[in-house]
Amino acid sequence: MSLLYTNNREQDLVDMIAAEVHVGTQNCTKNMENYVYKRTRDGVHYLDLAKTWEKLMIAARIIGAIQSKNPKDVLVVSSRPYAQRAILKFGTHTGANYCGGKWVPGTLTNQNTKKYLEPRLVIVCDPRLDHQALAEASLVNIPVIALADSDSPLNYVDIAIPANNKSRHSIAFCFWLLAREVLQLRGEVPRDAPWDVMVDLFMYRDPEAKKAIADHADADEAEEGEEAQEDAAVQNTMKTFEGEGAADEEEEGEDDGEKWAQGQTAGGDYAKSA
């Protein structure tokens, strides 16, 4: 039976392979064995992308149901640098609240903190790195959705999405697909047309690389400026030489004219005397 939301399934699976969502690690926990498709000769576990896509669809429906009353009831958490831009874009497009960088202890449990939050759903990128957020969510009975790799512990995780949570391409595509499905459930994005937001906007960008590119561009511009100055100096020198050569030719022409005139005068005198 083909449903409307399954029309993009095949293309999504192809994009997942391109983003290396299925590539796991060499270790595998007990709870993640059900999501492993096979293991390569190098010992790397490959995740089952069919289960990944199904879990993404389930998570999108849970997020849409909770955000129907208040979009800020969903909190996206990640301390991994590669996921900072992804959770920011996810929160921007879906209206969810996001918390990037270092997790402040007591954000969900201590009411005296400045950043105290009371979400109804927490989404984490890595259960191992974001263990403090998971522990606090368990204390206040908040359900948790997590991107789980083959070596991720699933303690206090209610819905695990098997995916590679260490690659910037994989993280970006998972959050892009999750945001697209949430917007399609709301009716803001049509299902029969592609989403106009590119997945590249969810990918991590290294600021140092931008600085290196800018410095390289500045160096190229400086070199071009120096080359232009050198060319101008060469042209000025050539003009000076040409001007001096023309002046010398004029002087030589004048000298030749004077000699010719003197010769003509001497010839005339000789003719008169003869």
- Read off the CATH number of the domain in which 121 is found: 3.40.50.10490
Q: Is residue 243 part of a domain?
A: no
Q: Which amino acid is at 255?
A: D
Q: What is the pLDDT of residue 191?
A: 84
DSSP alpha helix (H) spans, the chain: 9-18, 49-66, 84-94, 131-139, 168-186, 207-273
Between CA 74 and CA 113 the distance in angstroms is 19
The total number of structural domains in the chain stands at 1
Taking only the tens place, the pLDDT of each residue in 80-109 is 888 888 999 999 999 999 888 888 899 999
Confidence tier at 193 by pLDDT (50, 70, 90) = confident
Q: Is residue 192 part of a domain?
A: yes
Between CA 58 and CA 56 the distance in angstroms is 5
* Range scoring the smallest mean pLDDT among 141-145, 219-223, 255-259: 255-259
- The token pair at 65 is 């149901």
Q: Which is more confidently placed, 256 or 169? A: 169
Which residues constitute the domain of residue 191?
4-203
Q: What is the pLDDT of residue 7?
A: 77
Between CA 243 and CA 230 the distance in angstroms is 20
Residues 6+ positions from 61 with CB-CB distance below 8 Å: 185
3-state DSSP assignment of residue 120 = coil
Neighbours of 44 (CB within 10 A): 14
Taking only the tens place, the pLDDT of each residue in 161-178 is 999 988 889 999 999 999
Q: Is residue 239 part of a domain?
A: no
Per DSSP, what are the bridge partners of residue 47? 36
CA of residue 71 relative to chain centroid, distance: 26
Q: What is the pLDDT of residue 25?
A: 87
What's phi and psi for 188, nearest 5 deg? -80, -25
Between CA 251 and CA 268 the distance in angstroms is 26
Q: Is residue 266 part of a domain?
A: no
Q: How open is the CA angle 18-64-179, to the nearest 5 degrees?
A: 25
Sheet arrangement for strand 121-124: 97-100, 74-78, 121-124, 144-148, 159-162
Mode of pairing for the β-strands spanning 97-100 and 159-162: unpaired
Q: Is residue 250 part of a domain?
A: no
* Burial class of residue 212 (count of CB atoms within 10 Å of its CB; 0-12, 13-18, 19+): exposed
| Among 171, 196, 22, 194, CA closest to 90 | 171
Question: Which DSSP symbol is given to 81?
Answer: G
Q: Is residue 118 part of a domain?
A: yes
Between CA 231 and CA 82 the distance in angstroms is 46
Between CA 25 and CA 152 the distance in angstroms is 10
Confidence tier at 31 by pLDDT (50, 70, 90) = confident
Q: What is the pLDDT of residue 270?
A: 45
Between CA 271 and CA 45 the distance in angstroms is 117
